[in-house]
Amino acid sequence: MLVKTVSIILTLITLCRGVVLNIEKYFMTCDRNAVEVNECLVDAIQDAIHVLTDGIKDFEIPSIDPLHQKEMRLEYKNNQIRAKMRMNEIFITGLSTSTVRDVRLKADEDKFHIEVDMKTPNMVVTGRYDGGGSYSTLKLSANGLFNISMDDLDYTWKIDGKPEIINGFTHVRVTSFYMRPDISKMKTLLTNENPESKDLTALAVQITNENWRLLYKELLPFAQTNWNQIGTELSNKIFLKVPYDVLF
């Protein structure tokens, strides 16, 4: 505990872009060598989700509920089905209602791994889209608003990183952020501002909602790539600014 206390004091006098970052002002910290570290992290991460809901300016972390993403592109091919879509002004709501169920930490001197079991009752993704697709000889072009709602998300964050020296302090650089949610229901809504394809869009939405399990499975790899990018970026906003010995 003495080493951890000294590390916290040193962090308090470390400047990051002119701002003194006091980790304990925002987050609970846990000793990675303590027997009850996993139990401590359950409470710490649950508290962090609440704190991060509105974002933290000092860490340059935006609000996580809603979480804003400027753009995402998707290209899908399966047999005779072809689709391209560009989504922008994306907002994801619901993360702040999540419950942390369990945590497993493996923090060594040369590598870092943590697993966080999560449960989220509902998550909604909204934004604008434009794109097109085809099925055999049938072609569709559409643009408008989208709304995707998912219920009972059950998932595990798997976060990996490695130590890195920054300004004389050992930090952890997160290298991957993995999750694969199981869900009980998904519903998609689309508007279409292209009058020539409104009927086809309505039919596509109907088919999508009737076969959501298959569609979710097919599109999950694209979503996981996106989650990895977002999760890694947000994690490093904390991990690269606060020394390893202070966080854990």
- First-to-last alpha carbon distance for the chain, in angstroms, is 11
Closest CA to 67 of 5, 108, 123, 133: 123
Q: What is the pTM of this model?
A: 0.87
Full residue range of the structural domain in which residue 38 is found: 2-247
Mean per-residue pLDDT, 174-196? 96
Residues with Cβ < 8 Å from 232, sequence gap 6 or more? 174, 175, 176, 177
Inform me whether the pLDDT recorded for 18 exceeds 60: no
In order, the DSSP letters of 3-68 are HHHHHHHHHHT-EETTEE--HHHH-----TTSTTHHHHHHHHHHHHHHHHTT-BGGGTBPPBTTEE
Domain count, the chain: 1
Mean per-residue pLDDT, 43-67? 95
Under DSSP, is residue 172 helix (H, G, I), strand (E, B) or coil?
Answer: strand
CATH number of 140's domain: 3.15.10.30
| Assigned token pair, 199 | 């009927």
Mean pLDDT of the chain: 89
For residue 32, the Cα-to-chain-centroid distance in whole angstroms is 24
Give pLDDT, residue 154: 99
Kindly give the residue spans of alpha helices, DSSP state H, lying in 53-196.
none
CA separation for the pair 215, 15 (Å, rounded): 48
Q: How confident is the model at residue 105 (pLDDT cuts 50, 70, 90)?
A: very high
Q: How confident is the model at residue 21 (pLDDT cuts 50, 70, 90)?
A: low
